[in-house]
Structure 1
Amino acid sequence: MVIFYLVFVLIWLVWTIMYWHTLMRIQFYIGLVLLLGLWEHFTLIAIYGNLQTMGTVSPSAVYFAELIACVKRTLARLLVLIACLGYGVTIPRLGKIWFRRCLAIGSVYFILVTMEGMARVHNPRFHTTQFVLATLFPLMCLDAAIMWWIFVYLARTLRETRLRHSLIKHNLYRNFSYVLVIVSLVSVVFMVWSIMAFKRHFCIRNWHLLWIDDAFWQILFLIIMAVIIVMWRPTDSNREYAYSLLDGPLMDANEDENDIILENLTAADGK
């Protein structure tokens, strides 16, 4: 995994240097998430290397690697959320309202995912305690809420780009919506399979498949980042995707006015 992250970081760094003057703000956040992923897997390599040579693992190193993973998971979800909001493409900035919302969502998610991650690392595998359940259930609820917000605002951004006849931007978000739908369906199917294979029985018969349960989410996250890298890569045509004042003030800080404008435009478009 570290090789893939290293390749992604190097490619993104080269693109960033080549197209520095046309970069969008969201592309800096993509680079940050890639660096965190690389840092996480370098830490894991050091942990496994020490285990292979010395036969011991430092608990502090394991907790540190989990903490990096929690930061990466938090920022990755916020990255997808602000991307679906149209940040840097249909809106020049998040504004005070959505900045505070993202800050609140990110803070709560980071606290919950850190508690769940530390409890998971501390306890033996498949040893479910009340504390683990108490941290896992609200985390799952918040994850579901974030996914719901992502699809809601992605649909709004698609509608906005269609009403503005911004075909390039509309195609970008339409393709991204296809990816998110496929990823969501694959995740649900895998979770059902994982529950049927590992969670139903006290004695796990398919123990030789446990590595799939660990590797799947890492691979899926890597695929999502690869898609984001391809779609939001820095190019000479960044200005075709970046927000322009010619797009008009459809997305302003006042969300109520935005909804009214969008409803009026939709009604006019239907006529």
Structure 2
Amino acid sequence: MVARPLALAGVCLAHLATGAIYQYHDLALHNQKLLYRESGMYAPHDAPAAARRGGANTSFIKLADLRFTRALDEACFPAVPSAKPPSDPACSRQDGAVQIAVLEHTRLSAIGASRNGTRYYCCDDAAAAAGACGGGSAAAAAAARGALIVEGEGAADVAVHTLKVPFDHGSELSDAEGGIFHVNKTGMYIVLFANCNPTNGRLLLNGHTEWVNPYGYLPGEYYHAMPFYFTLAIIYVVLAFLWYGLSCLTYRHLHAVHLWASAVLLLGMVETAAKYHDFSEWNLTGMRNSGAVTWGLVFGVTKRALSRVLVLLTAMGYGTVRPTLGEDLRRALMLAATYWVVCVVGEQLQATPARETDVAGQAIESDIAALLIMVSALVDAAFYAWTFHSLSWVLAHLKTKARPRPELTSLYRRFVGVLIVGGVFSFAWAIFGVVQTTGDRRDVHWELDWAVVAVWEVLYLYLLIAVCVLLRPRMDGATSFGYSAVEMAERDTNQLMGDHDEELEYGGRQLSGDDEFAVAEETAFRKGKMAD
């Protein structure tokens, strides 16, 4: 049951494995359409210090290996030579033209013109009639017919290359025609393809573009993520070594919650190692490793989903006051599965674009991403509400027990404090993330993109460390977040009802008829919930 969704995710996410060398294989550029790709670029004098020492001290976008060909439609050009092609301009046998624009993202507003509430990007009949071509003059509009509209503030900073596309063969951009754009100012840059000439019809793009920073191929917005994931991977390895070593020494006293914590640690190690390998190879070769991209994303989302389940199980008192969870565990796993699906789809949309973005249609994808963020927030809210509700019941149960455990109550209260700190910080950072990724702020502060995700990773690590410290097993059979069945037997021998099974207290196996103490504990807990 687990292998199937992971395999499906691998198929769906494999296409994200692109890189700073972007390949094009018959990419369709329809008439009157604009497609663009963006990436953060450092100027040589602004590059990170570590990169400037080891890099080539140059930054450029190479467009030389691009070839545009017309997709000849059979409806326009029938197999019978004597047949007369239709009068559609797209069926014209005249040579066409295509524009390639290189600009900073802050200058994107210079592409197109707004007239009477309508945004025009190509100078066609409608744009000319609205006065959106050539500044509104008739002569300039006639000269600009079938071209990309560039006007307003920042228009002078937009480098536009126009290529003729002959009817019978393709057109290729060469170095002499401006195929290499040197980056002298740090910023988020865009390469835009515009098919505005009505005689072009549908064009096919082949070749590749190269985006090279002073330190390598890694886009500027991801540079600082590479050392971050390397450091995080080392921390996970150290934590795993300590946790697994302690677990081996106390393997007789482990319960199911310890196994959940072990699984989350393992997922964290694999995720951070895969992401560091992805960024490192991307920076060196310009191409992303499809396996590292896919498994880093899948293991990362799975880690976050299971982390939520681990916190929820701990809040329910699994292994401390409740030996089994029954239907509650199934509901928790269903909620985690919902979170997993939403996050996989959301990260697929937010990952580095594997395709060009339609200037006029980008709002649709933004709406989908916003919807997924809303669904993810609702699932998180359900986790938080369920977690604190469970904690309140556990604390109430501990206070009303015939045998109060003040040390256990104190630890649960500390756990509540950990969750409150994490919850407040999560809320504050979520607001910052929304502000950072919306509007024009991302265009100006794109170097902080990596930090939005990085701080979430640190928060997950903080909660995991806190749970592991509270859950840590001990040589005497107790855990600092549980109670020792042996100790309870010694202190309360007169109150025990029959033989006591230590494994049962920690959720190690299912209840049996002889486990009367565990049954009494669970029954008392459930009666307390029903009484509410």
Short-chain TM bin: 0.7 to 0.9
Between the aligned partners of 2:388 and 2:525, the Cα distance in structure 1 is 20
Q: 1:247 to 1:233 in 2, by over 3 A?
A: same
TM superposition shift of 1:2: 0.3
Between the aligned partners of 2:259 and 2:436, the Cα distance in structure 1 is 40
2:376 is the counterpart of 1:106: no
Q: Higher relative CO (CA 8 A, sep ≥ 6), structure 1 or 2?
A: 1
Tell me the TM-score normalised to structure 2 length: 0.45
Q: Kindly report which structure 2 residues correspond to 1:89-104, keeping only aligned pairs within 5 A, or say none.
A: 89-95=320-326, 97-104=327-334
Unaligned runs of 5+ in 1: 264-271
Q: 1:211 to 1:107 in 2, by over 3 A?
A: closer
Between the aligned partners of 1:199 and 1:40, the Cα distance in structure 2 is 27
Select 1:188's aligned residue among 422, 427, 433: 427
TM superposition shift of 1:203: 5.6
Bigger radius of gyration? 2
Between the aligned partners of 1:253 and 1:246, the Cα distance in structure 2 is 11
Q: 1:109 to 1:238 in 2, by over 3 A?
A: farther
Contact map agreement 2:397 2:528 (CA 8 A) in 1: no
Q: Which residue of 2 aligns with 1:259?
A: 529
Between the aligned partners of 1:180 and 1:254, the Cα distance in structure 2 is 22
2:384 is the counterpart of 1:160: no
Between the aligned partners of 1:192 and 1:105, the Cα distance in structure 2 is 24
Between the aligned partners of 2:344 and 2:448, the Cα distance in structure 1 is 26
Q: Kindly report which structure 2 residues correspond to 1:1-271, keeping only aligned pairs within 5 A, or say none.
A: 1-95=232-326, 97-121=327-351, 123=353, 128-164=365-401, 165-201=404-440, 204-239=443-478, 241-242=482-483, 243=505, 249-252=520-523, 255=526, 257-260=527-530
Deviation per residue, 1:149-193 (Å, 9 max, x gap): 011101111111122212222112110000000111111122223
Contact map agreement 1:47 1:61 (CA 8 A) in 2: yes
Bigger shift: 146-155 or 238-247? Answer: 238-247
Letter of the 2:424 partner, please give it.
Answer: L
Bigger shift: 176-185 or 38-47? Answer: 38-47
Contact map agreement 1:86 1:157 (CA 8 A) in 2: yes
Contact map agreement 1:50 1:56 (CA 8 A) in 2: yes
Between the aligned partners of 1:230 and 1:5, the Cα distance in structure 2 is 15
Contact map agreement 1:24 1:238 (CA 8 A) in 2: no
The alignment partner of 1:87 has SS state of coil
Q: Give the number of aligned pairs.
A: 260
TM superposition shift of 1:65: 1.2
Bigger shift: 137-146 or 234-243? Answer: 234-243
Between the aligned partners of 1:60 and 1:247, the Cα distance in structure 2 is 46
Between the aligned partners of 1:175 and 1:231, the Cα distance in structure 2 is 9
Contact map agreement 2:233 2:273 (CA 8 A) in 1: yes
Q: How big is the alpha-carbon RMSD for the aligned residues of Structure 1 and Structure 2?
A: 2.6
Bigger shift: 146-155 or 118-127? Answer: 118-127
Between the aligned partners of 2:409 and 2:441, the Cα distance in structure 1 is 49
Between the aligned partners of 2:279 and 2:436, the Cα distance in structure 1 is 27
* Bigger helix fraction: 1
Q: 1:114 to 1:143 in 2, by over 3 A?
A: same
Letter of the 2:285 partner, please give it.
Answer: M
Contact map agreement 2:309 2:333 (CA 8 A) in 1: no
Contact map agreement 1:26 1:88 (CA 8 A) in 2: yes
Letter of the 1:252 partner, please give it.
Answer: T
Q: Which residue of 2 aligns with 1:269?
A: none
Q: 1:152 to 1:132 in 2, by over 3 A?
A: same
Between the aligned partners of 1:118 and 1:107, the Cα distance in structure 2 is 17
Deviation per residue, 1:126-154 (Å, 9 max, x gap): 98533323322211111111111011101
Letter of the 1:148 partner, please give it.
Answer: A
Unaligned runs of 5+ in 2: 1-231, 484-504, 507-515
Q: 1:33 to 1:253 in 2, by over 3 A?
A: farther
Contact map agreement 1:87 1:94 (CA 8 A) in 2: yes
TM superposition shift of 1:24: 2.1
Bigger shift: 152-161 or 61-70? Answer: 61-70
Q: What is the aligned-residue identity percentage?
A: 22
Letter of the 1:146 partner, please give it.
Answer: F
Contact map agreement 1:251 1:258 (CA 8 A) in 2: no
Contact map agreement 2:442 2:449 (CA 8 A) in 1: no
Bigger shift: 116-125 or 3-12? Answer: 116-125
Q: 1:32 to 1:169 in 2, by over 3 A?
A: same
Contact map agreement 2:435 2:441 (CA 8 A) in 1: no
Q: Which residue of 2 aligns with 1:268?
A: none
Q: 1:195 to 1:112 in 2, by over 3 A?
A: closer
Contact map agreement 2:278 2:293 (CA 8 A) in 1: yes
Letter of the 1:28 partner, please give it.
Answer: L
TM superposition shift of 1:231: 1.0
